[in-house]
Chains A and B, each alone.
Chain A
């Protein structure tokens, strides 16, 4: 396989070079798959569909010339995958998918003494995902890109097509909203 730069790869893709499909997969599969797994929390039955959907979305956004080489292709793919996975998470929540359905959950240590804390941590993660699915989509996307995928503010601004100030604002509002939601839910549960 040729060692193409991002620009060369996208030019080849635009020209319909069949090698471009394989190269695009090799370059982006890691970030796409990780993003989907981290947000969904499990390799669900629809995982493969989400990965494919993310790749299709990436090609479509490239075709519409939304990607202007201002950030790396990987960051761009990270943003698109985040968008796809958060949408899936929201629709999954709407369908009220059963949490108990997780046969393929992340592997965990089997030490019995840690079971309780592991369970609490798992529940906490589930709450974070649930609130991410409920909160303002733009803020949720900025939060995931920064805290989960590790993108810098400038990169977030670039991939979302907003200013750095706007990215910073979304991030801080997103943190506040998520914290308020988590705190509110903890309080409500304590009251129960």
Chain B
């Protein structure tokens, strides 16, 4: 049936079509080319008008709020406080530590206790610090996934320019962060600020790195994996697309940098919907769920969380068939995240348990490669 259908359709490919004479073809070429440019200009004008209208409506909204807030305060009997709305709102319990280790330093630099996984309060003037041997993975209030590299210091500030709009800004002092930002629409914005650059996004996946190479001044590097970001640095302002790399040390260097994580397969994995938290009718289902959660976390740029799911699977079902796969994925994951010593240990553990395992050659190669470079 398929062949018959295919052949019926492929017949549509056949046919000899009368061609336009040279003069008509030339006329059509010029006409359509002019039309293309005209449509492009019309769309540009429409976009400009849209931006202008947005600014006007925002200004009207702000003016309206300015008039409404004192009235509301009078009615509520709070006018005597006279406190205007703060631009920087406390983050409250909106930040969630998913995996890894981090601690918080308050405004005067006093180190506090290490954070436990789960939600925590992060004041707008506090700094989150990761240790030199581990990173952290966080879920922000905007549902953006923030992966914080080891030895990194970040602050998180939330602003509400109007009642229905918000901006969440990650202030990167040192180190690196990677973000995966969901679609926020026109009212939400997530940005990363360094000492010399501001990277604004709406729905994308990218990383920002503060490079410190004394005696040079620290500079910022941005890599975009998906979507588009707007980078502002001094007077410069430019859009970066998927695969682009930007550095404030070389302001004009926005070059495509193909990434292994941007293959069609990787993209398909990234677009996979989040696994549902369903009950586990059997052990096998639970193992499958853990493996799927690990894969989902990994493809969303959360390797520590992925490793955590794999560890859970291995700890709960050490002898299960899927634990074999989990151990293989674990040493691969550790290697890809640059945790070489742990990767070697995981590969050795794998070989001890599965001397004839399907990934034995890969594990041996990993050990020989990394042992040669790991001190």
Does A69 lie within 8 Å of B242, measured CB to CB? yes
Min CB distance A57 to B, Å, is: 9
Known pairs A26-B29, A29-B32. 18 more at Cβ < 8 A?
A14-B40, A18-B33, A20-B37, A21-B34, A21-B35, A24-B36, A38-B13, A41-B12, A55-B32, A63-B47, A69-B242, A69-B243, A70-B267, A106-B14, A106-B15, A148-B9, A148-B10, A158-B264
Contacts of A99 in B (CB 8 A): none
Q: Identify the A interface with B (CB < 8 A).
A: 7, 13-14, 16, 18, 20-22, 24-26, 29, 37-39, 41, 43, 48, 51-52, 55-56, 59-60, 63, 65, 68-70, 104, 106-107, 121, 124-125, 128-129, 143-144, 147-148, 154, 158, 163-164, 172, 175-176, 178-179, 182
Contacts of B28 in A (CB 8 A): 48, 51
Contacts of B44 in A (CB 8 A): 16, 63
Contacts of A172 in B (CB 8 A): 2
Contacts of B37 in A (CB 8 A): 13, 16, 18, 20-21
Residue B241 is within 8 A (CB to CB) of chain A in the complex: yes
Instruction: Check A125/B12 contact, CB under 8 A, given A14-B40, A21-B34, A65-B228.
Output: yes
Residue B60 is within 8 A (CB to CB) of chain A in the complex: no
Does B242 lie within 8 Å of A22, measured CB to CB? no
Min CB distance B231 to A, Å, is: 17
Q: Which of B11, B242, B271 contacts A128 (CB 8 A)?
A: B11
Min CB distance B45 to A, Å, is: 11
**13 A-B pairs (CB sep. < 8 Å):** A21-B35, A21-B36, A48-B28, A59-B36, A59-B43, A63-B43, A107-B18, A124-B8, A125-B12, A128-B12, A147-B6, A175-B6, A178-B5
Does B1 lie within 8 Å of A179, measured CB to CB? yes
Contacts of B86 in A (CB 8 A): none
Please measure, in the bound complex, the distance between the C-alpha atom of A169 and the C-alpha atom of B29, giving whole angstroms. 38
Residue B250 is within 8 A (CB to CB) of chain A in the complex: no
Q: Which of A13, A48, A104, A182 contacts B18 (CB 8 A)?
A: A104
Instruction: Check A148/B12 contact, CB under 8 A, given A60-B43, A69-B242.
Output: yes
Total inter-chain residue pairs, C-beta < 8 Å: 121
Min CB distance B21 to A, Å, is: 13
Min CB distance A86 to B, Å, is: 12
Please measure, in the bound complex, the distance between the C-alpha atom of A179 and the C-alpha atom of B6, giving whole angstroms. 10
Q: Which of B9, B14, B17, B41 contacts A16 (CB 8 A)?
A: B41
Instruction: Check A124/B17 contact, CB under 8 A, given A16-B41, A18-B37, A56-B39.
Output: no
Does A179 lie within 8 Å of B40, measured CB to CB? no
Please measure, in the bound complex, the distance between the C-alpha atom of A69 and the C-alpha atom of B14, giving whole angstroms. 30
Instruction: Check A124/B15 contact, CB under 8 A, given A21-B33, A60-B43, A179-B1.
Output: no
Contacts of B8 in A (CB 8 A): 124, 128, 178, 182
Min CB distance B323 to A, Å, is: 28
Q: Which of A21, A68, A121 contacts B11 (CB 8 A)?
A: A121
Min CB distance A89 to B, Å, is: 11
Does A164 lie within 8 Å of B267, measured CB to CB? no
Contacts of A52 in B (CB 8 A): 31-32, 35
Contacts of B47 in A (CB 8 A): 63
Please measure, in the bound complex, the distance between the C-alpha atom of A13 and the C-alpha atom of B4, giving whole angstroms. 43
Residue B16 is within 8 A (CB to CB) of chain A in the complex: yes
Min CB distance B254 to A, Å, is: 11
Contacts of A43 in B (CB 8 A): 17-18
User: Closest B-chain residue to A59, C-beta based?
Assistant: B39
Residue B268 is within 8 A (CB to CB) of chain A in the complex: yes
User: Closest A-chain residue to B267, C-beta based?
Assistant: A70
Q: Which of A55, A70, A107, A121 contacts B36 (CB 8 A)?
A: A55
Contacts of B39 in A (CB 8 A): 56, 59-60
Does B32 lie within 8 Å of A38, measured CB to CB? no
User: Closest B-chain residue to A143, C-beta based?
Assistant: B9
Instruction: Kindly name the residue among B14, B17, B35, B242 whose own CB sees the greatest number of chain A CB atoms within 10 A.
Output: B17
Please measure, in the bound complex, the distance between the C-alpha atom of A63 and the C-alpha atom of B46, giving whole angstroms. 11
Contacts of A148 in B (CB 8 A): 9-10, 12-13
Contacts of A144 in B (CB 8 A): 9, 12
Does A25 lie within 8 Å of B15, measured CB to CB? no
Min CB distance A11 to B, Å, is: 10
Min CB distance A3 to B, Å, is: 17
Min CB distance A48 to B, Å, is: 7
Does A56 lie within 8 Å of B12, measured CB to CB? no
